Amino acid sequence: MDTLIPAERGERMSRVRSGNTKPEMAVRKLLFSMGYRYRLHDRKLPGKPDIVFPSRRKIVLVHGCFWHRHENCPLARIPKSHKAFWWPKLEGNRLRDGRVKAALRRMGWSVTTVWECQLGNMARVENKLRRFLESGGIVT
């Protein structure tokens, strides 16, 4: 059962940002410290990707596990209340993510995703990003 009344829940949910989130800022800071320079939220590309490397034709998406339904992740649980609302909303996010990635790849972009739960081990994230950005292929 929800511990907040609907007005309080609405107020709290309205504060959730779509860009410049803490996980995104952590990845951006890491990339900058690694010497990479990038563009943000390119509106010309499908889905306005989080981090874009135009000269490399590479994109890094930073996803929150809850909002983007990270498979087998404990942070991706469905809320116990209002399941009829949450399930279609979160599943719709996941399906849209798949369509956006497919569209970007059809346009010739390589795409990788950094999940919120992975940020607990920044050394591993750094290795993943370095391999992705320096390789000719896709590292997921």
| CATH of 19-134 among 3.30.365.10, 3.20.20.150, 3.40.960.10, 1.20.120.530 | 3.40.960.10
Other beta carbons within 10 angstroms of residue 86's beta carbon come to 15
Q: 14: exposed, middle or buried (C-beta count within 10 Å: 0-12, 13-18, 19+)?
A: exposed
Q: What are the sequence ranges of the domains in the chain?
A: 19-134
Which of the four pLDDT bands, split at 50, 70 and 90, describes residue 2?
low
Which of the four pLDDT bands, split at 50, 70 and 90, describes residue 63?
very high
DSSP assignment of 78-123? PPSS-HHHHHHHHHHHHHHHHHHHHHHHHTT-EEEEEEGGGGG-HH
For Cα atoms 133, 139, 140, give the angle at the middle one, nearest 5 degrees: 125
- 116 or 79: which leads in pLDDT: 116
Task: Please determine, for residue 127, whether its predicted confidence score (pLDDT) is greater than 60.
Answer: yes
Task: Give the pLDDT confidence of 84-120 residue by residue, as tens digits.
Answer: 888 999 999 999 999 999 999 999 999 999 999 999 9
This prediction has a pTM of 0.84
DSSP assignment of 31-74? HHHTT---EE--TTSTT--SEEETTTTEEEEEE-HHHHT-TT-G
Task: Give the pLDDT confidence of 8-54 residue by residue, as tens digits.
Answer: 756 665 556 666 789 999 999 999 999 999 999 999 999 999 999 99
Contact 118, 63 (CB under 8 A): no
At residue 58, the pLDDT reads 97
What is d(CA 61, CA 97) in angstroms, rounded to the nearest whole number?
10
- 39 or 78: which leads in pLDDT: 39
